[in-house]
Amino acid sequence: MNEQRIEISKNVLRDCLGLSSHEVLAVIADDAKRELGESIYEAGKRLGAETLFLLMQERSKSGEEPPAAIAEAMIRADVAVCVTEHSMTHTRARKEAAASGTRVATMPGMTDDMFSHGAINADYPQVKALTERVTAMLSGGSTVRIAKEGYSLTVPIHGRDGVPSTGMYLNPGESGNLPSGEAYIAPVEGTAEGQILVDGSVAGIGALKTPMLLTVAQGKLSAAEGEAGEQLLKMLGEGDGRWLGEFGIGTNNKARITGVVLEDEKVYGTIHVAFGSNNTFGGTIAAGVHIDAVVMKPDVYIDDVLIMRAGELI
């Protein structure tokens, strides 16, 4: 077993999730991420926690629910870590576990490289402070506008609360991604208008070789032009998966564009939009799919005030 991976896992469990020896830790993995899951399981045991390892078949897409038995185990644990190929972040299982008081970290698409380098090694108290500041901007705003290379997307957010994913989940019910560093919000459904040039990466597709131009009309993706456009539309399906469900800002200065959206959407200097489910963080869409698309170095306005210029927060 990889001792370096176990030591990193111990640091993550202790520093980011506050795992104590008297607590119950549930490690959920699928076949694709079994080895990483086993390392986290071993780390939990070495920290003295009552540690469970639950292995499931790989889901077909991000946002798809796990088996009911796994959802129940997450609710009953003090800490749950989900290291899976596709994201469990925007599932009912994650939401209900957090509502029950479980501290939950999701690691969709985690790789060995990501586990050893990049965003996982950030100064998380610093990430937390910046993330909470950006979250406050989103919560206090009515409209976001993203501009890049002559294209502009307007996203109404009035009445919605921003969500901080700080990478530190130390209190009952706190949850988010690891590695982390983003502030995000559920747009008002059916209201976003415009076009956005995606040039970073797309969940399930990877790092983009050429940009993709997305057109949003009345809150729904109406066109995706570019090399991977048809693939994105196919993943989202013809129904509720095409609703614009999220706007987010990356706040982790150690994160890199790797082609895995778990890290890509955390990169400082990027924003991301996502299509599909947002009912787990303040929206009304339950689509069974959630696909993020990352934009590098845009200009961002909240209520017509410039808060990010070419990827630099002001």
Place of tokens 């390892």: 53
pLDDT truncated to tens, each residue of the chain (314 aa)?
Answer: 789 999 999 999 999 999 999 999 999 999 999 999 999 999 999 999 999 999 999 999 889 999 999 999 999 999 999 999 999 998 999 999 999 999 999 999 999 898 888 898 899 999 999 999 999 999 999 999 999 999 999 999 999 999 999 999 999 999 999 999 999 999 999 999 999 999 999 999 999 999 999 999 999 999 999 999 999 999 999 999 999 999 999 999 999 999 999 899 999 999 999 999 999 999 999 999 999 999 999 999 999 999 999 999 99
* DSSP alpha helix (H) spans, the chain: 3-11, 34-46, 68-76, 92-99, 112-116, 124-139, 229-236, 261-264
List the structure tokens of 115: 């586990």
Pairing status of strand 79-83 against strand 24-30: parallel
C-alpha to C-alpha distance for 295 and 194, rounded to whole angstroms: 15
Residue 211: CB partners within 8 Å, gap ≥ 6? 197, 198, 199, 226
Strand arrangement, sheet containing 305-309: 220-225, 212-217, 193-198, 151-156, 143-148, 299-302, 305-309, 312-313
Inter-residue contact 299 to 146 (CB < 8 Å): yes
What pLDDT sits at residue 115? 87
241 φ/ψ angles, rounded to the nearest 5 degrees = -60, -20
CA angle 240, 242, 244 (to 5 degrees): 105
What pLDDT sits at residue 303? 98
List the structure tokens of 213: 């131009």
What pLDDT sits at residue 255? 96
Within the chain, all domains assigned CATH 3.40.1830.10 are found at: 3-116
What pLDDT sits at residue 118? 85
Taking CA atoms, 274 is separated from 29, 221, 242, 270, 282, in Å, by 24, 10, 9, 13, 14
Place of tokens 């729904």: 220
Q: Which of 299, 309, 289, 287 is nearest to 86 (CA)?
A: 289
What pLDDT sits at residue 116? 84
Inter-residue contact 290 to 94 (CB < 8 Å): no
Is the pTM value of this prediction over 0.75? yes
| Residue 262: CA count within 13 A, CB half-sphere | 28
Give helix then strand counts, H and E, for the chain: 8, 20
What pLDDT sits at residue 121? 84
What pLDDT sits at residue 1? 77
C-alpha to C-alpha distance for 143 and 154, rounded to whole angstroms: 7
Taking CA atoms, 208 is separated from 75, 260, 264, in Å, by 37, 11, 12
List the structure tokens of 284: 């009304």
List the structure tokens of 49: 């926690």
What pLDDT sits at residue 171? 97
Q: What is the assigned CATH class of domain 3-116?
A: alpha beta
Strand arrangement, sheet containing 175-177: 50-56, 24-30, 79-83, 103-106, 175-177
What pLDDT sits at residue 28? 98
What pLDDT sits at residue 117? 87
